[in-house]
Structure 1
Amino acid sequence: MRGALFLVGLILAGLIALGHLDWLDPIILILNNIRVHLSALLGLVALLLIMGRAVRRGTVLLGCAVLALVLDYRDIAPSSRGMATAEPNLKVIAFNMLGSNMENGPAIADYLLQTDADLVLLNESAPVVPLLETLRASYPFLLGCDEQGEGQCGDVLVLSRLELKAPRITRLTGASGHQTIAAQVVMEGKKLNVVSTHLLRPYFGQQQIGEFIALRGLLEGLEGTTLVAGDFNAAAWFGPFTELLDATGLTRAAFEPGTWPVVMGNFGAPIDHVLVSGDAAFTSLSAMPDHFGSNHRGLVAEIALKPEAS
């Protein structure tokens, strides 16, 4: 039994090592996304070995697990920020609803109407597209559909209580069926860039990396405080994701709820993100109270924007 456990531990250690490689192979990218979970599992195997009196082997594996987690912390620490104590003046919801989740569209719309969010950034928009006219009662400004909501809608939608200025809708690469939407809002005299995006999954390999590069280019072309949210299909420690944050100055909350798969709750992978830069700071970040049939958990962020000096 101890021999089998040790073999499992060696396999996990090998997978973790592969996940730390800077390769663009889809399998390596997938391992990169789950390496923290693999490290936690390796730590559990190590403890079982120690409890089973295989102390030396267990200690070696436990050391490997701790080292891997330390390296992951090193990667995420530069972009992590604690919660600010300021009074929030912006509330944001970011939610991948799952495009085939049509039966839960009315429940999602009801939730959005009852919340006091200023901005709602949606991925896989199909469930609420039939209900856009109802949603306009609370969110009169919309981006992501032809002819301001009267025509066909794309994968990404932005609903807002605030006027959306200088709108731009693009695709990061030709391979993606997903939109990226950029616009500006003004709150208390402060201009805020708003970007809603949905990136390809890691098994697209080089194509997903191309989207990170294109998103970096878009963000580097923006001036001032910026908010970015969406389904990045990338965990907080994923190499291309941390490189994006380092290059653009975007920051993330020190603790991000797990968003996928929903069954794992906060222990899932945080692949959906709300990010800020400049004078914006998080005052809270939590998962939505219900996933409404989606395979992702939505995020609710409260943010403090420093007003422009008069």
Structure 2
Amino acid sequence: MRKTLSVAICVIVSLVLLAILTRYLRPHWILATLHSLQFHAAAACVVAMAVALLIHRNLASYALLLVALLLTAHPLWMAREIAAEVTPADQSAPTFRLMSFNILSENYENAEGITRAILSSGADVVNIMEGESLYEHLTQIATVYPYRVGCGVLMEECDQMMFSKTPIENASVRSLSNIFDNRFIMGEVTVSGRKVHVVGIHTTKPYFDNFHTMELMNAALAITATDGPLVLSGDFNASSLPPNMRMFLNSTGLKTAAFEPPTWPVRARMLGLAIDHVYVRAPLKIKSLTRMPNTYGSNHAGLIADIAITGP
């Protein structure tokens, strides 16, 4: 009985590990969500194999445990590769603050609280996703953020919006695919005396065929057409781990913080997944990236990023 149970665990774990390993061979969109969850899934396999070894020891169990450990460690290595560490010399660099929050469409009962959170955030720029519920509060928001894109400015929809304390120059709105319209906003703002490209994005979920990859490719084309400091934030519906996200980051040269806080699902707290991101391009570096303390009824946690301008 003990041997049978151990073998059953090994079979299940081997199937999960094989599914994860497809990312290194021939990644497919069907497994994109699992690839986002690689650390979580591989860590669960480590625990499962530890149980299997306690029940019955054999060579196959040790081999599967080793593979699971390697697949758990690799996401940690990948996270280091995409992080731009802030050095002691960067501490005195001029900074600005960005807020990014998917507030959940039709979240009208919390719109007033979200408005207060925006106004008290201290952010220079705010990127909002699924922002329809803020329509009645735009006048109030404009007292602190008189400049915006979205909700009647460059597009009629209030789904994707960008608010700024300073003018948003050369602003543009794009549709990254035909799944959702106008979920990519790009503009330039002046912060700490520097011109910075600011981008707000909301990609589709990765289980709609290859649309997620196509949207990332279109976003990369728009980003690489610009030069100089750039910050991009939004809901990617994926962690930084899947192959298409890695391709996007490599092609754009974008980096993030040393630690990305989990943002979804909010009930999982620190055991959740970071699918909302803030990425920057040199000479920008993220000094701090934190979750907003209140989710205001959204299924995503908002992010506050303090960003240093570390060079010319």
| Count of aligned residue pairs for this structure pair | 306
Which residue of 1 is the match for residue 45 of structure 2?
Answer: 42
1:106 counterpart = 2:112? yes
Alignment root-mean-square deviation, CA? 2.1
CA–CA distance in structure 2, aligned partners of residues 116 and 50 of structure 1: 52
Shift of 1:53: 5.5
Contact 2:176 2:183 in 1 (8 A): yes
Which residue of 1 is the match for residue 144 of structure 2?
Answer: 138
Which of residues 169, 174, 180 in structure 1 aligns to 2:178? 174
Which of residues 64, 79, 82 in structure 1 aligns to 2:82? 79
CA–CA distance in structure 2, aligned partners of residues 6 and 140 of structure 1: 64
Contact 2:284 2:310 in 1 (8 A): yes
Contact 1:166 1:183 in 2 (8 A): yes
Shift of 1:208: 1.2
Report Cα offsets for 1:260-292 as digits up to 9, x if no partner.
111111221111100001111111111110111
Q: Judging changes above 3 Å, is the alpha-carbon distance between structure 1 residues 132 and 16 closer, same or farther for their aligned structure 2 residues? A: farther
Q: Judging changes above 3 Å, is the alpha-carbon distance between structure 1 residues 296 and 49 closer, same or farther for their aligned structure 2 residues? A: same
Shift of 1:46: 2.0
Which residue of 1 is the match for residue 281 of structure 2?
Answer: 277
TM-score normalised according to structure 2 size = 0.90
CA–CA distance in structure 2, aligned partners of residues 80 and 298 of structure 1: 20
- 2:295 maps to a residue whose letter is H
1:281-292 to structure 2, matched below 5 A, reads 281-292=285-296
Q: Judging changes above 3 Å, is the alpha-carbon distance between structure 1 residues 5 and 271 closer, same or farther for their aligned structure 2 residues? A: farther
Q: The residue matched to 2:195 in structure 1 has which SS?
A: strand
Shift of 1:70: 3.0
CA–CA distance in structure 2, aligned partners of residues 36 and 12 of structure 1: 14
Moved more, 86-95 or 103-112: 86-95
Shift of 1:57: 5.5
Moved more, 280-289 or 170-179: 170-179
Which of residues 194, 200, 203 in structure 2 aligns to 1:199? 203
Q: Judging changes above 3 Å, is the alpha-carbon distance between structure 1 residues 146 and 232 closer, same or farther for their aligned structure 2 residues? A: same
CA–CA distance in structure 2, aligned partners of residues 181 and 79 of structure 1: 23
Which residue of 2 is the match for residue 156 of structure 1?
Answer: 160
Contact 2:151 2:159 in 1 (8 A): no
1:126 counterpart = 2:132? yes
Report Cα offsets for 1:159-192 as digits up to 9, x if no partner.
1112211100111112323520000012233211
Moved more, 292-301 or 14-23: 14-23
CA–CA distance in structure 2, aligned partners of residues 50 and 167 of structure 1: 58
Structure 2: runs of 5 or more not aligned: none
CA–CA distance in structure 1, aligned partners of residues 58 and 27 of structure 2: 37
Which of residues 220, 223, 229 in structure 2 aligns to 1:216? 220
Q: Judging changes above 3 Å, is the alpha-carbon distance between structure 1 residues 147 and 94 closer, same or farther for their aligned structure 2 residues? A: closer
Contact 2:99 2:121 in 1 (8 A): no
Q: The residue matched to 1:245 in structure 2 has which SS?
A: helix
Q: Judging changes above 3 Å, is the alpha-carbon distance between structure 1 residues 4 and 107 closer, same or farther for their aligned structure 2 residues? A: farther
Q: Judging changes above 3 Å, is the alpha-carbon distance between structure 1 residues 8 and 27 closer, same or farther for their aligned structure 2 residues? A: farther
Which residue of 1 is the match for residue 234 of structure 2?
Answer: 230
Contact 2:49 2:64 in 1 (8 A): yes
Contact 1:196 1:230 in 2 (8 A): yes
Q: The residue matched to 2:22 in structure 1 has which SS?
A: coil
Q: Judging changes above 3 Å, is the alpha-carbon distance between structure 1 residues 34 and 159 closer, same or farther for their aligned structure 2 residues? A: same
Q: Judging changes above 3 Å, is the alpha-carbon distance between structure 1 residues 104 and 12 closer, same or farther for their aligned structure 2 residues? A: farther
1:293 counterpart = 2:294? no
Shift of 1:50: 3.6
CA–CA distance in structure 2, aligned partners of residues 21 and 30 of structure 1: 12
Moved more, 181-190 or 9-18: 9-18
Q: The residue matched to 1:81 in structure 2 has which SS?
A: coil
- 1:117 maps to a residue whose letter is A
Structure 1: runs of 5 or more not aligned: none
The share of aligned pairs that are identical, in percent, is 26
Which residue of 2 is the match for residue 21 of structure 1?
Answer: 22
Which of residues 62, 66, 78 in structure 1 aligns to 2:69? 66
Q: Judging changes above 3 Å, is the alpha-carbon distance between structure 1 residues 6 and 76 closer, same or farther for their aligned structure 2 residues? A: farther
TM-score normalised according to structure 1 size = 0.91
Q: The residue matched to 1:43 in structure 2 has which SS?
A: helix
- 1:274 maps to a residue whose letter is V
Shift of 1:48: 2.3
Contact 2:177 2:215 in 1 (8 A): yes
